[in-house]
Amino acid sequence: MVDVTIPQIGESITSVFIARWLKKPGEAVAEGDPLFEVDSDKASMEVPAPTKGVLTETLAEEGDEIDIGAVVARIDETAEAPEPEAAAPEAEEADEPTSEVRAGPAARQQAKKGGVDLGSVTGTGPRGRVTSGDVRGAKAPAASKAPAPAPAAPASVGPRTERVPMSPLRRTIARRLVEAQNTAAMLTTFNEVDMTAVMEVRKAYQDRFVKKHGIKLGFMSFFVKAAIEALKEFPAVNAEIDGNDIIYKNYYNIGVAVSGPRGLVVPVVRNADQLSFAQTELAIADLATKARDNKLRIEDFQDGTFTLSNGGIFGSMMSTPILNPPQVGILGMHNIVQRPVGIDGEIVLRPMMYLAMSYDHRIIDGKEAVSFLVRIKDCIEDPQRILLEV
């Protein structure tokens, strides 16, 4: 009998939520088959079977919060799945449906509260699963079919408030964000960057770049490279605190925000300092595709040393990003807007972006944080600095 445990998801994550089971007790599984899906504050991800056999029991329900390393299921490596029973002849009429409705705890609670028959709700979730949104969109059965009096009374618009349980993912995010602010001396410094030079480089070389590498040259690879140059100059921003010690990291795993079904997630581009611009763009594109398809793996989130968060893709002009422990720095990028700026004694319009650098003041001084952000600004406004490392 093999125990199935909750694997290590990422740094400083101590628990996850069981989102849904993908296998049932009695089902045969092959090694690597997805057994269940978990929610962390970063993303939903599938946990594979560690061996082949038969899933004999599950020890946690959907929606349960489980500690990392805890046993949640058992697989019998020596057992074989029972042969499926022959289908019984169909009865002319069935008093009750024989199939079980696939719905999670939140949907069932919503149905019970609203008096909705789950069997009558069409599920829009994976594999026909009924979501709480499906339940809210369904109508409870009418109590009476008596005709409405004339003139008819105005239709009820329903309750003015609605109480819906937080999803496991949202509960985890809420707890982690509070922990980040309570455990770090977090401050934010701001600057702005003129995107003219980067935009001119992209315009001049985009066609050749796409023809050679099969992918467009975006803005994010410039910021990844600029951040690495700044991290080399200010190594404390690439470090972490462990008790009374500082751990300096001589590698650069950059977390890059990409958009998934549940919002922004931050998988990691590993050893980004060893990648070319094209390799960086391809790595980011691969992570973005995995995020959209909900195929990010546990290891895609591990060992990050610094994070880039891009709220600008949603139109954000300014924000104060929150640290992703144990990292001690995060760069917030925002939308690009034509703004009047003074250049050589003249007022001109330039494509400007606000930058926000949040940092842990326990290890990074204010001067160091400001200088770090200025270094990024200099690299973006003069991209040749990145290539020449000056």
Catalytic residues: 361, 365
Which candidate, 140, 118, 132, places its Cα nearest to that of 162? 132
CB-CB contact of 300 with 256 (8 Å) = no
Report how far residue 85's alpha carbon sits from residue 113's, in angstroms, rounded to the nearest whole number: 37
Rounded Cα distance between 260 and 300, Å, is 14
**Both tokens of residue 81?**
């799945």
Distance of CA 63 to the CA centre of its chain: 18
Distance CA 71, CA 232 (A): 42
Which one-letter amino acid corresponds to residue 100? E
Query: Is the distance from CB of 375 to CB of 233 less than 8 angstroms?
Result: yes
DSSP 239-269: -EEETTEEE--SS--EEE-EEETTEEE--EE
Which alpha helices (H) appear in 84-124, and where do they start and end?
105-114
